[in-house]
Amino acid sequence: MNNRSLARLATLLIVFTTSGCGTFHTTQLPPASIPLTRPVAKAVSIEQLKRLLPAYPIVVGFDVDDTLIFSAPAFNALQPAYPAEIIRPKNYAALTTAQRRQYHQFWNLLNEQYDDRSIPKRIGKALLDLHLKRGDDIYIISRRQGTVPPTNTVTRRLERMFGVHLPHPVVQTDLKDKTPFIAKRHITYYYGDSDSDITAAVGAKAVPIRVQRSLASYAQDVPHDGQLNEIVLENSRD
């Protein structure tokens, strides 16, 4: 990437900051509605990202599936045994008692056992190491349903996978939108692979950074890398 492209990215960061991204908010915020556009710049490397980050410590957040870990082996091994409309219901309250039992059984098994099959992403390790070395505060926020009753298995597994100590337990939003969870923790930069990660970050006034999704992901939605005016990390599929 040449200096002109890097300057465009720096300008993009300034736009996010002056529009309110990177500032603290305590109110309940919806995800942003952002029209798709052509990518504004080429994807950046880790080294270029270092030059774009503030010189002072910041609060950063990470998605889990397809951002920090490649979790298709876990989902693909377990998901066929459960109906999609039960494990990702449009309305949890409408589930029967038996269906709710199935719902929690799936997510408990995924979080507590099957996620051992997931593979830590190289980019996840590089980003965690970068921000820990900078002295940044790190939150990990997943949209998964949490284990019932709660355990620390997910947090401890990620610490083992990446050889790090996380300053906070992993937050699981129980399939809810991440926007208020990002805002509540005063996160100023948020990494994610999905369009909903990007819009949640912007809605929470955080700067979004896209991690590319593996082509072998279990996820069915189509990510629009760079088309939501976000920074994209190059070579970040694995």
Supply the residues annotated as catalytic: 63, 65
Measure Cα distances from 202 to 47, 105, 157, 180, 228 in Å.
24, 33, 29, 11, 10
Burial of residue 47, with CB atoms counted within 10 A of its CB: 0-12 exposed, 13-18 middle, 19 or more buried: exposed
- Written as one string, the DSSP assignment of 139-169 is EEEE-SPPPSS--SHHHHHHHHHHT---SSP
Q: Which tokens belong to 9? A: 């990215």
CA distance 163 to 144: 23
